[in-house]
Amino acid sequence: MAATETYPADLKYHREHDWARIEGDEAVLGITWFAQDALGELVHYEAPDEGSTVTKDEPYGEVESVKAVSDVISPLSGEVVAVNQKAVDEPETVNEDPYGEGWLIRIRLGDPSEVDALLDAEAYKQVVAEQ
């Protein structure tokens, strides 16, 4: 069952419908409720390798649904320290809980100042309203 539309206030958002939960010098990344809803049921998640580097505004993986294949855009730069194996094995987890069990990767921040360029929940809701 798909999650209810929500945009938690404790997260930072990228215009490409990705979110970041900042935890000290690391961040957990995933796709927003809007993104998973637009894609429909996810059937595959192509994750980056642990130890690889992701770059702000660049693709770091792909999600595939019954409707489309989409790049996952990194809201921040850094080194991948963990990949959510549950999202790889059971991609529908992202549909069910995009901000919890459906997270995609954890990174060690390469440039913490990049966080300042991300949107808060209210600003992101404006982006969604314009879609």
82-87 LR contacts (CB < 8 Å, sep 24+) = 82/50, 82/106, 83/47, 83/48, 83/49, 83/50, 84/47, 87/45, 87/47
Picking from 101, 108, 106, 102, the residue whose alpha carbon sits closest to that of residue 79 is 108
Q: What is the pLDDT of residues 33-54, one digit of tens each?
A: 999 999 999 999 999 999 999 9
Q: What is the pLDDT of residues 6-19, one digit of tens each?
A: 999 999 999 999 99
Q: How far is CA 104 from CA 1, 31, 84, 122, in A?
A: 19, 8, 5, 23
SS3 108: strand
Phi, psi angles (nearest 5°) of residue 16: -85, 15
- Segments making up each domain of the chain, as ranges: 18-129
Note if the pTM is more than 0.85: yes
| Fold of the domain built from segment(s) 18-129 | OB fold (Dihydrolipoamide Acetyltransferase, E2P) (2.40.50)
